[in-house]
């Protein structure tokens, strides 16, 4: 089990090319596999989660080849069309990737064979009824391990299903499905299944969630429509493979943005950061809290916007970050960034209230509990709530031994906290960082030089 030691620093300096977006890399592999012909994924994120997706499709009969051009990873996918997948010899293993298991389920629902999908201990605690219900309505057979819904109060009704999942695919029918919560994973699962259904499949969202699936479908030429919060796709759909240029992951960039804001005298330029408007909630939060972060040279490639983000010579002692309330429709745009926002909030004046974020309790860890518990060990003033947390600041943090709980975003958030804490911070179980940001520790060291 790997341990990361972090000490306080007075400067971060450098120009960084952010690794490829995890969400987009997943989708590029999946859609490339069911496209006709070759798809080239440029700047593929070579992380454990995305490699799990690649491995699942290899077991489904899809050939892929990896190469490297300068610092960019390229993956070539030989697509076989909607019905070119083959029944795997055994269960598909998604590792720690919730995106993989939920999205691939939509594709497997349209196949003519039965598939079992499993994952690590964390995945086997992730709720799957949210995808099982719409896929069942479309005509797929889907079952899993039953248990109490972790989102229900004790004594509440209903039971969840958990992985391993077994999916019996077949001829699907289109549906109109109203999401009970804003979820890009559930929306994408239904839309991918809709590619196999004859007619129009519609998904109605209560609030906008990340739209990478819709953008990639449109880029690949799939008939697709969006009106307000209703998204629809017409099937059966066939499409040709193309080159997909993946921007850097703004969720990964968020750790460096906050580090650059909190460490005095920092001078950072983050290149090729994805600026999809459904993902830029972190920039909105930073601006509203009083941080000055400049977005430069925005352009759109492969249907996705990207830009450089500049953080220059900011001295936190001469600035005044203000606490704020984060909730409602903003939550889907910052759901992955809340752990690092919590670190930032410890240095803001007044209270930062995070609410409507109950979904955090069923991520790789219970992120409300884990980030609150560990930052309290460092001296932060945090009150845990059922659907979020209340953080009071500013507070001087102290280095100590903390746990990641096997959660990559918790681990990296604590690393950033360690950069401004007195003494040494020891973060246990940091192998998980490879899930989304391979090379994070080495990059931090380079920025300290």
Of the candidates 249, 336, 407, 429, the residue annotated as catalytic is 336
Question: Does residue 46 contact residue 73 with C-beta atoms inside 8 Å?
Answer: yes
Respond yes or no: is residue 120 known to be catalytic. no
Tokens of 167: 């999916």
CB 348 within 8 Å of CB 323: yes
- Token pair 């590792």 is found at 95
CA distance 112 to 132: 17
Q: Is 172 left (phi over 0), alpha (psi -120 to 50) or beta?
A: beta
- Measured between its terminal Cα atoms, the distance across the chain in Å is 26
CB neighbour list of residue 130: distance below 8 Å, 6 or more residues apart? 180, 181, 183, 186
Contacts of 339 (CB under 8 A, 6+ apart): 367, 371, 409, 410, 413
Known catalytic residues?
A: 336
């Amino acid at each position: 089990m790997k341990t990361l030691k972090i000490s306080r620093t007075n400067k971060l300096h450098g120009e960084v090319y952010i690794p490829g977006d995890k969400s987009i890399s997943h989708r590029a592999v999946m859609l490339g596999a069911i496209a006709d012909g070759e798809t080239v994924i440029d700047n593929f994120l070579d992380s454990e989660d995305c490699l799990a997706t690649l491995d699942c499709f290899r077991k489904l009969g899809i050939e892929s080849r990896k190469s490297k051009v300068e610092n960019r990873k390229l993956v070539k996918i030989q697509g076989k069309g909607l019905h070119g997948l083959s029944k795997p010899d055994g269960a598909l293993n998604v590792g720690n990737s919730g995106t993989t298991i939920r999205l691939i389920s939509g594709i497997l629902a349209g196949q003519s064979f039965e598939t079992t999908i499993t994952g690590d201990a964390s995945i086997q605690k992730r709720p799957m009824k949210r995808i099982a219900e719409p896929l069942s309505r479309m005509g797929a057979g889907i079952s899993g391990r039953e248990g109490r819904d972790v989102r229900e109060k004790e004594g509440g009704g209903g039971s969840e299903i958990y992985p391993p999942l077994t999916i019996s695919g077949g001829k699907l029918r289109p549906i109109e499905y109203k999401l009970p919560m804003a979820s890009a994973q559930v929306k994408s699962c239904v839309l991918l299944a809709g590619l196999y259904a004859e007619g129009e499949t519609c998904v109605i969202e209560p609030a906008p969630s990340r739209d990478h699936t819709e953008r990639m479908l449109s880029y690949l030429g799939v008939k697709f429509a969006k009106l307000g919060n209703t998204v629809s796709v017409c099937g059966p759909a066939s499409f040709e493979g193309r080159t997909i240029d993946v921007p850097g992951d703004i969720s990964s960039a968020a750790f460096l943005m906050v580090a650059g804001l909190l460490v005095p005298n920092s001078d950072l330029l983050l290149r090729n950061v994805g600026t999809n408007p459904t993902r830029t909630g972190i920039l909105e939060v930073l601006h509203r809290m009083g941080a000055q972060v400049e977005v430069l040279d925005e352009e759109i490639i492969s249907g996705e916007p990207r830009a450089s983000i500049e953080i220059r010579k900011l001295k936190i002692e001469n600035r005044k970050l203000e606490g704020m309330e984060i909730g409602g429709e903003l939550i889907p745009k910052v759901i992955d960034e809340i752990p690092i926002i919590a670190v930032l909030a410890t240095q803001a004046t007044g209270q930062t209230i995070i609410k409507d974020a109950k979904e955090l309790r069923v991520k790789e860890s219970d992120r409300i509990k884990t980030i609150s518990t560990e930052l309290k060990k460092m001296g932060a003033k945090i009150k845990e709530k059922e659907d979020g947390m209340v953080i009071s600041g500013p507070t001087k943090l102290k280095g100590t031994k903390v746990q990641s709980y096997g959660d990559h975003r918790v681990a990296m958030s604590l690393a950033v906290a360690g950069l401004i804490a007195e003494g040494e911070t020891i973060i246990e179980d940091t192998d998980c960082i490879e899930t989304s940001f391979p090379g994070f520790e080495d990059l931090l060291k380079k920025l300290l030089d």
